[in-house]
Structure 1
């Protein structure tokens, strides 16, 4: 999948792209069939809210065949290669869940701010591409983005170790008020199978999910192979140390998964 000239211009201007209908319902069924098994695992990569609900399953491409294929899918990898100008590796892989009623907040932050401070990533030649596994609406904790905020560079941030179960370098209220007043806020909503791409310096957050519908999004944080991290403060399953360029899978790989096997694992 290649981005058009108009899409490239929009990404440059706004710092994000929302692409509906990238994956079919059958493809999403093949992937989500493995979520109950993953959520039931007792392993260090699976982080939970204080309620016990899953918050994030890190590095799922290493213990799930469907999510391995997502991490190598050409419809996700090729547009990032196009934007970053070459081969990429997986810096971070997350399944982020917002459980109905119990999904907690993600504070306002920039991803590259964390990657630079915690991982020693030299430049913001990395970005996120997110796949919606569920319909994401105003009622189940969508991602909020401040358009154009990537043009501000890396902003001053504080290391929040208390608000949630996951530490982040977060932005203060004055900064968010200024940016939102200048640029507004975009709420990234869409049907299952939609894809959201966003710059590593874009300012974003998400509210708690107090609605009766959960939502799950897969985030691939892909980095140019020449821009790999230089510091190793965080566990390897959070900030990966295999800088090998991704070899993409066939475009129809998800439809080749044996459904009965996936559901039973």
Structure 2
């Protein structure tokens, strides 16, 4: 298959995005995105829906993190340098609550509209930043990784995520570069075998240089995704984002669901020796039915 987004090469380049950001303006269901929010998403690469979920709907992470049997699974990733839990992958497969959320019409109606098709979950994850200890994530495009290491051909994917705790400017929130999704940073460096075993703790490949970040922020200011627990954020698969250390006394935890179009199923990786582990690229392509 022709590689429309070459990356992990000898030199870094910034190229034009080929795929649209919004694939349909037709309403899909009761919770479809309105014209204003759809335009915001198309222009900026993300959109925020404050307080969409109640605390009772999202309160189960403490159980998962403290379950001694669960944390032995490879889906449970620890912080670099200590034993603190950093990420839980595919929480919707371990928790009936998160499975229910992953099919919630308040999310699925919006996602299907933006991607213009039925969708499935490429993977899901919970990112945990413990108070005073949670470490940063460098600037990156998710799609660059999913394209190079999972084989997603096109940027017809996005992440819908919910704040499980308040996200403030102090506790390691997500930062984004509005409009950066319209470009694709072809990153320098060749992917080592089984790169994910290190990158899930500390990402080194697929990370844009400071020169690329400066170029993509010439006409845009950095923004932070702040909000109360229960806030929903949807961001495009290619928007550049990252987050700082959490040096506050308050933990920051978010649950992410990566949705991919059923018309964009993975093929052979475009920039890695072989596919990442199956838990990072799920093979259940059955279309999700909103509930």
TM-score (norm 2): 0.80
1:8 to 24, 27, 38: 38
Contact residue 185 and residue 208 of structure 2 kept, 8 A: no
**Residue deviations 1:3-60 (CA, integer Å, cap 9, x gap):** 101111111111110110110122233x345344458621111000121111110011
Q: Distance in 1 between matches of 2:156 and 2:35?
A: 20
1:207 to 244, 253, 278: 244
Q: Distance in 1 between matches of 2:200 and 2:288?
A: 32
- Report which stretch shifted further, 84-93 or 18-27: 18-27
**Residue aligning to 1:259:** none
**Residue aligning to 1:239:** 281
**Residue aligning to 2:123:** 92
Per-residue deviation at 1:166? 4.3
2:290 to 245, 248, 251: 248
Greater share of residues in helix? 1
- Does 1:226 find its partner at 2:259? no
- Does 1:183 find its partner at 2:220? yes
Count of aligned residue pairs for this structure pair? 248
**Residue deviations 1:106-151 (CA, integer Å, cap 9, x gap):** 1100011111111111100000111000000011100000000111
Per-residue deviation at 1:69? 1.2
- Runs of 4+ with deviation above 4 angstroms: 157-164
**Residue aligning to 1:48:** 78
RMSD: 1.9
Structure 1 unaligned runs (5+)?
Answer: 250-265
Q: Distance in 2 between matches of 1:6 and 1:240?
A: 33
Per-residue deviation at 1:197? 0.7
Structure 2 unaligned runs (5+)?
Answer: 1-30, 269-273
1:113 to 134, 144, 148: 144
- Does 1:75 find its partner at 2:103? no
Instruction: Indicate the SS of the match to 2:33.
Output: coil
- Does 1:141 find its partner at 2:172? yes
Distance 1:17 1:69, change over 3 A: same
TM-score (norm 1): 0.88
Q: Distance in 1 between matches of 2:166 and 2:44?
A: 23
**Residue aligning to 1:25:** 55
**Residue aligning to 1:253:** none
Per-residue deviation at 1:199? 0.8
**Residue aligning to 2:201:** 165
